[in-house]
Structure 1
Amino acid sequence: MMLALEMFRSIPRFAAAKVSGGRMPGLLVGPMAPLRLVTRDEPAVRRPGWAQVKPLLSGICGSDLGAITGQTSLYFSALVSMPFVPGHEVVGELAEDCEDLPRGTRVVVDPVLACAARGVDPCEPCQQGRTNLCNHVTVGHISPGLQTGFCQDTGGGWGERLTVHRSQLHAVPDSLTDERAVLVEPLACAVQLARRAQVPAGGSVLVSGAGAVGLFAVLALRELTDAGRITVIAKHGRQADLARRFGASDVAAPDEAMRAVRRTTRALRVAPQGLPAPAARLTGASEMLLGGVDVAVDAVGSTSSLDTVLRSTKAGGRAVLSGMPAGADLSPAWFRELEVAGTYASSGDAFDVAMRLAEQAPMDDVVAGRYPLHRWREALDHAQSAGRLGAVKVCFDVRSRA
């Protein structure tokens, strides 16, 4: 038996969370949360290539918070199996031998449950090494689940054990601390983003959002592309400082976003005609740019962030959706013939590259909070308020009972 946080299906709680959203955050980590601390059987998949992992640190991701607070699209409802133990940003130790990796090896987990893990013949994306686009995430010998942490059979990092396939494991070098290793999975996603962005040499980039997704995107874009000017939209002072540390050329507040892009790209600002500012905001008739950045990244997933990205990308430019997207007016994408690219999880050698970034980048203070499982309400409250509190990544320290 083990201690774990378990997300369960509750229509009343989901509806309450959906209605209250971010307006009543106390409810979302209290009585309305579809999450509970339980004692449950340890997960086990009795198939070749599978082994148990003891989590050491497990990150709290924006997608986890979105699921708990009812903000995740129902599009994903067929791609998970409940109840499940969340947690897909994991550094842990092997509790048993796993093929060529001996017991006790420290590992990070690629959470995507692709064909190899599911024991089925590889689909076309998996044959091409694009396992993040696997077509078989609902079939095979384990329950549906697009990732570890969203599948009832595998468990997740918010529990004292999870079970993982060899194809998902990456050994961690001794030179990498646990606090840096737990960042490898989100950094691998940032590597994927940098590659999908296709920034031209010297190209201008806007990153809307300076939470973990946005900051790691800035780091990867600066390290892995030939981007020129990178402008970051940050709400809070510490986010702005970290954005500059990771390679941003300019940082602006959300209400200064258009002005900042206009200044750096010499774009033409076009404002709504005949409407006072409050009415323009109410009707969605926001200002836009003719011209703008070559590539813009939505690293938040909110309607306002995506709207900013679409309205500040030059004609024929590229808009990259990295935050799980909300609804937005797609008129700019149509009118300016934008290329809209999604970026999900990682593939290929992204984990190897992320391991190098985690080791070399100035990231010693990125993990700002560590909580034992029984203090989960405090942990989630901290994660929800991370930007305001100057935190980037909040984690569960699964070893701790203090």
Structure 2
Amino acid sequence: MTRGLELYASVSRQAASRLVGAGPSGWSGLAGVAAPLRYVEHGDPVVPGPGWVTVRPRLAGISGSDLALVTGRVSAYLTAMVGLPFVPGQEVVAEVQESVTLDDGRVLAAGDRVVVDPAPGSGPGTGDGRVGDGGWARGVGGGGWSRVMLAHRGQLCPVPATLPDARAVLVDPLAAAVHAVDRARVGAGQRVLVVGAGAAGLCTVLALRAHTEAGQVAVVAKYPRQAELARRFGADVVFDPDGAVAGVRRATHAMRVSPRAGGAFLLGGVDVAFDAAGRASSLSTALRTTRAGGRVVLSGVPTGRVDLTPLWARGLELVGAARRGAAPSVLARAFALAAGAPLDGVVAATYPLTRWREALEHALCAGRLGAVRIAFDPTVAL
């Protein structure tokens, strides 16, 4: 029997999830009650065709996009890409269960570790994200919040023996950050603002320092631990959300303008801004602090509504950065960052699947609790 966590269709729970998340205390203490998620047992998934294999997850991160799905904050646009019931979990390091020959000729033996790439560039059924018919094989073979999952050989990325699981499970957010930085086209010496210092924002800072000649890199961080890590990863200056506009004004010598209603904005500002938090407030901050003609990159999953008038009025370029069609070198660069960056402790805690309520609470409150990434360890029975 295969055991795992299943996101299911429930209008009442989805409504409760959105209502609870919007409350003054957020999700604290209520994720397990409201989330349309359940621990289930199924028969082992059936391999749908040639090139597909079964893998056993060793670690599966609880990403921002996973949380957006579970809490009902994700756009209806994206729900069409996910059939329900569905097993979440896109950040996965796993063991293959049988020998498999990859497209490049490398041979994996049973028990070899792999990162399961949720956005591969090739392989039948793996590149378009279409919804399948089987509950455990929806989308790209289901997710990693399970004891067993399906993956196409085009999704399998061998993990070097020297790379621990706690670093390998971060390859996906690192690859997303590398791709977002590629899309940003940051020029030498340009000023950059990263709004948000969770996993997406911190990985973006690492990618900026590794793969661009950016000038000053500023980060908007809500919590002290996030600010500490942002500086360790290469940020020159860190602002709290309330002081972001004033901080960018000082750093860039811009002029602050305060309209009769709504938030202040700058005449001038940074050359490139990343919304790495995926909230209306974070995108609004990015739009209001980027100079005319500058570039704003959506590196987090967008949620909420925002006034796009600054985009129109200031001729900003808004760039999406979902990792479909990314350059072939992105994963290699992500693996290099996973091996060499100061990532110890980024995966702050792991939970068995049976303790999913505690895990979700921890992940939803991670920033306030001084954590970056929480993960499931599906190999632990209880």
1:92 corresponds to which of 83, 91, 94 = 94
Distance 1:256 1:153, change over 3 A: closer
Q: Which shows bigger deviation, 333-342 or 345-354?
A: 345-354
The 2-side partners of 1:194 and 1:320 are apart by: 9
Q: Which shows bigger deviation, 70-79 or 50-59?
A: 70-79
Please say if residues 386 and 393 of structure 1, whose CA atoms lie closer than 8 Å, have aligned partners that are also in contact.
Answer: yes
Please say if residues 79 and 144 of structure 1, whose CA atoms lie closer than 8 Å, have aligned partners that are also in contact.
Answer: no
The 1-side partners of 2:137 and 2:358 are apart by: 22
Q: Name the residue aligned to 1:242.
A: 229
Distance 1:153 1:364, change over 3 A: closer
Q: Which amino acid aligns with 1:299?
A: A
Task: Give the TM-score normalised by structure 2.
Answer: 0.93
Q: Does 1:392 align with 2:372?
A: yes
Identity %: 51
The 1-side partners of 2:13 and 2:170 are apart by: 31
Q: Name the residue aligned to 2:17.
A: 17
Aligned-residue offset at 1:20: 2.3
Distance 1:257 1:223, change over 3 A: same
2:124 corresponds to which of 117, 125, 137 = 117
Distance 1:144 1:294, change over 3 A: farther
Please say if residues 28 and 365 of structure 2, whose CA atoms lie closer than 8 Å, have aligned partners that are also in contact.
Answer: no
Deviation track 1:43-99 (CA, whole Å, cap 9, x = no partner) reads 232311111111000000011111111111111122111111111100011011222
The 2-side partners of 1:243 and 1:150 are apart by: 37
Q: Secondary structure at the match of 1:307?
A: helix
Q: Which amino acid aligns with 2:331?
A: F
Q: Which amino acid aligns with 1:253?
A: D
Aligned-residue offset at 1:115: 5.9
Q: Secondary structure at the match of 2:33?
A: coil
Aligned-residue offset at 1:112: 2.5
1:331 corresponds to which of 300, 304, 309 = 309
Q: Detail structure 1 runs of 4+ shifted over 3 Å in the superposition.
A: 142-145
1:359 corresponds to which of 339, 359, 368 = 339
The 2-side partners of 1:22 and 1:296 are apart by: 26
The 2-side partners of 1:118 and 1:27 are apart by: 39
Aligned-residue offset at 1:263: 0.9
Distance 1:115 1:220, change over 3 A: closer
Please say if residues 155 and 161 of structure 1, whose CA atoms lie closer than 8 Å, have aligned partners that are also in contact.
Answer: no
Q: Name the residue aligned to 2:104.
A: none
Q: Does 1:82 align with 2:89?
A: no
Q: Name the residue aligned to 1:172.
A: 159
Distance 1:187 1:259, change over 3 A: same
Aligned-residue offset at 1:101: 1.9
Q: Name the residue aligned to 1:340.
A: 318
The 1-side partners of 2:96 and 2:227 are apart by: 38
Deviation track 1:16-41 (CA, whole Å, cap 9, x = no partner) reads 21222242525752232100001112
Distance 1:114 1:15, change over 3 A: farther
Q: Name the residue aligned to 2:57.
A: 55
The 2-side partners of 1:152 and 1:17 are apart by: 23
The 1-side partners of 2:289 and 2:175 are apart by: 27
Please say if residues 129 and 140 of structure 2, whose CA atoms lie closer than 8 Å, have aligned partners that are also in contact.
Answer: no
Q: Secondary structure at the match of 2:108?
A: coil
Aligned-residue offset at 1:301: 1.2
Distance 1:144 1:71, change over 3 A: farther
Q: Name the residue aligned to 2:33.
A: 31
Structure 1: which 5+ runs fail to align? 120-133, 274-279
Deviation track 1:294-320 (CA, whole Å, cap 9, x = no partner) reads 000001111111111001000100000
Aligned-residue offset at 1:323: 1.3
Aligned-residue offset at 1:393: 0.5
Task: Give the TM-score normalised by structure 1.
Answer: 0.89
The 1-side partners of 2:94 and 2:196 are apart by: 29
Q: Secondary structure at the match of 1:25?
A: coil
Q: Which amino acid aligns with 1:17?
A: S
The count of aligned residue pairs is: 372
Q: Name the residue aligned to 1:125.
A: none
Aligned-residue offset at 1:153: 7.4
Q: Once superposed, what is the RMSD of the aligned Cα atoms? A: 1.9
Distance 1:211 1:310, change over 3 A: same
Distance 1:316 1:144, change over 3 A: farther
Please say if residues 130 and 139 of structure 2, whose CA atoms lie closer than 8 Å, have aligned partners that are also in contact.
Answer: no
